Structure 1
Amino acid sequence: MHRFWEKVIKPVLIAAKPSVIVEVGSLSGKNTFKLLDYGKHCKAQCVVVEPAPQFDVELLQLIYGDGLKLMRQLSLEALPLIERYDVLLLDGDHNWYTVYNELKQAERTAVNMGTFPIVMLHDTQWPYGRRDMYYFPSSIPESMRQPHALKGIEAGKSELLESGGWNATVHNALHEHGERNGVLTAIEDFMRESPFKLKWYQLYSNNGLGMIVPDDHPILDVLDYILDTSGL
């Protein structure tokens, strides 16, 4: 997601002026560090949901103080504990069950807040737009898991490769497409059901970035310009 920072995420934050930003999926912190710098200068708190951060948490806590809140939990455990936020960035477990339920939790929080947040989602295109990936398959209910294997994938091929390929070290669904399979499928299912009036935006580079925005949000006045001029 960090590849979208300069041309999309940062301009959106400047226009939206969020008080609380939630990032799901930080890992090495490439996008997190940018969010924290933004928050420090613009008086926004960053809540980072990452069960296994690969950066010096104590050092960041010293630098950013209350501007950083780290939750070492899976997203579906952490999100119900966060009472309000203005922007939600989802780049964690790339599968239908997780993404769909992350959005449903955002919807429940929005009911209490009275407004739906801006939500940005990474990996809405290949390889995981239409294919589930599981870091820890046991964390997903068995009935919600696609048949999967520790094998790599290749663009243009639905079947997994016998050797090599993209992301061969994680559990990938055996096939692309079909019901309840992939990040984009989860978003479409959620959007079709949600009682909120929402707009959907899509960028196709860097594995895809999607954005869900309430249809009455003030940022809509500049969002088309931000996306059209991003070149992404």
Structure 2
Amino acid sequence: MHRFYDRIIMPIISSYKSEKIVEIGADLGYNTSKILEYCKDSGAQLTVIDPYPRFDEEELKEKHPYLSVKKTLSLNALGDIDDYDTILIDGDHNWYTVYHELKLIEQKSMKKGKFPLIFLHDTDWPYARRDMYYIPDSIPSKYRHSYAKKGLVPGSLSLSDDSTINPWFNHALYEGGKRNGVLTAVEDFLEETPLPFFFHKAYSNNGLGIIIPEDQPLNKIVTRIVEESGL
């Protein structure tokens, strides 16, 4: 997601004047560091949710006291965070997790009457229509597709032993179908939610989905930023 930050995410959160930000999935902290610079300049706060962040948490907190880190799965943590206006989702790239992250966000949003800003990575190939599981046992069996640690092949629905594209991850054996993939989760959620919204997409770097509250001036700003980004 950090590849979208300078040209899309930063201009949008600056225009929205985001004050309380949640980041799901930090990994090495590339995007986290960028968000923290925004927080430093704006006075915003950042909560990171990642069960296994690969950065020095204490060092980063010492430098940025407006950072908090929750080392647990997103579906465990989101219910305990009561107030945020912006959330970046780049954690477990599968239908079950993303759909239920959005449902938890919806529950909080219903009290306020509108969505926060939501950014979602991997809304294009390879995980738009195929589940990937970091921890397969964390997904209830009825929502978990048959999977294997094999690589991905552009243009192929099935996996390959010979592919060098993410062969170390647990992938659903086949692409497409019901309850399979990040974009499918987003579409299923948006079809059901009673809250008004606009949805935008950028297609490079595995895809970025952007859900924003139904706000015409903001929608014009986001449309312009996405179009001018060239991503």
Give the match for residue 221 of structure 2. 222
User: In the alignment, is residue 164 of structure 1 matched against residue 173 of structure 2?
Assistant: no
Report the counterpart of residue 59 of structure 1 in structure 2.
59
Alignment RMSD: 0.9
**Aligned equivalents of 1:109 and 1:218: distance in 2?**
23
Q: CA deviation digits over 1:149-181, x for unaligned, max 9?
A: 011111100011023331111100000000000
| Residue 29 of structure 1, CA deviation | 0.2
Percent identity over paired residues: 47
Change (3 A) 1:163 1:101: same
Structure 2 residue matching 1:180: 3-state secondary structure = coil
> Number of residues paired by the alignment?
231
CA deviation after TM superposition for structure 1 residue 217, in Å: 6.2
How much has 1:218 moved relative to structure 2?
Answer: 4.4
- TM-score norm. by structure 2 comes to 0.98
Q: List runs of 5+ in structure 1 lacking aligned partners.
A: none
Contact preservation (8 Å) 1:84, 1:113: no
Which residue does 1:115 correspond to in 2? 114
Alpha-carbon distance between aligned partners in 2 of 1:45 and 1:148, rounded to the nearest angstrom: 38
Residue by residue, what CA displacement relative to the aligned partner does 1:39-81 show, whole Å, maximum 9, x if unpaired?
111010001001111111001111111x101000100001001
Q: Given residue 107 of structure 1, which amino acid in structure 2 is its aligned partner?
A: E
SS of the residue aligned with 2:98? helix
Q: Which residue of 2 aligns with 1:138?
A: 137
Q: Distance in 2 between matches of 1:112 and 1:64?
A: 30
The amino acid of 1:74's aligned partner reads: L
8 A contact 2:110–2:195 mirrored in 1: no
Within the alignment, does 1:20 sit opposite 2:20 as a pair?
yes
Q: Which amino acid aligns with 2:176?
A: H
Query: What does 1:176-187 correspond to in 2, within 5 Å?
Result: 176-187=175-186
| Cross-structure match for 1:48 | 48
What are structure 2's unaligned runs of at least 5 residues? none
For residues 13-59 of structure 1, the C-alpha deviation after alignment (integer angstroms, 9 at most, x for no partner) is 11000110000000000000000110111010001001111111001
Structure 1, 23-32 or 112-121: larger mean CA deviation: 112-121
Amino acid in the other structure paired with 1:71 = K
**Inter-partner Cα distance in structure 2 for 1:218 and 1:59:** 39
| Deviation larger for 160-169 or 46-55 | 160-169
CA deviations on 1:112-167 (whole Å, 9 max, x unpaired) are 23321010000000000000000010000000001100111111000110233311
Q: Displacement of 1:223 after TM fit?
A: 1.2
Q: Which amino acid aligns with 2:213?
A: P
Q: Distance in 2 between matches of 1:5 and 1:213?
A: 16
- TM-score, length basis structure 1: 0.97
| 8 Å CA contact 1:87, 1:117 repeated in 2 | yes
1:116–1:214 Cα contact (<8 Å) kept: yes
1:194 maps to 193
